[in-house]
Amino acid sequence: MENLQDLQEKLLAGIRSAAGLKELDELRVAALGKKGSITEKMKTLGTLPPEEKIAAGKALNLLKSAVENAVESRKSELETIELNRRLVGESIDVTLPVRPET
């Protein structure tokens, strides 16, 4: 459990650099999914002595929370960017005259 800080830095850097929602979701699954890196580490908690299990469990839960919060934050940023991009492309000029109905 000694490399949790490195794992956190790597995951958060990947989340911050995600270019789209699909890439962000892939990163989320790679970290928190059924076979994700954090989930795999949580599965190993049962093999630790009780003293270490408590500390490692707290550290893993903090890591999981940090990753979940970063994913949600980046997701809302990317959704806002996408919405703004669509709004610019779908703008309507209301100053144009109305087309006559035929």
End-to-end Cα, the chain, rounded Å = 73
Q: Are 82 and 21 in contact (CB under 8 A)?
A: yes
Q: Please give the model's pTM, rounded to 2 decimal places.
A: 0.80
Residue 19 has pLDDT above 60, yes or no: yes
Q: 12: which 2 tokens?
A: 């958060």
Q: pLDDT tens-digit profile of 45-97?
A: 989 998 899 999 999 999 999 999 999 999 999 999 999 999 888 877 778 78
Residue whose tokens read 């469990």: 57
pLDDT score, position 1:
54
Q: Would you say 71 and 27 are in contact if contact means Cβ atoms under 8 Å apart?
A: yes
DSSP H or E run through 12 = helix 4-16
Report the alpha-carbon distance of residue 71 to residue 21 in Å, rounded.
10
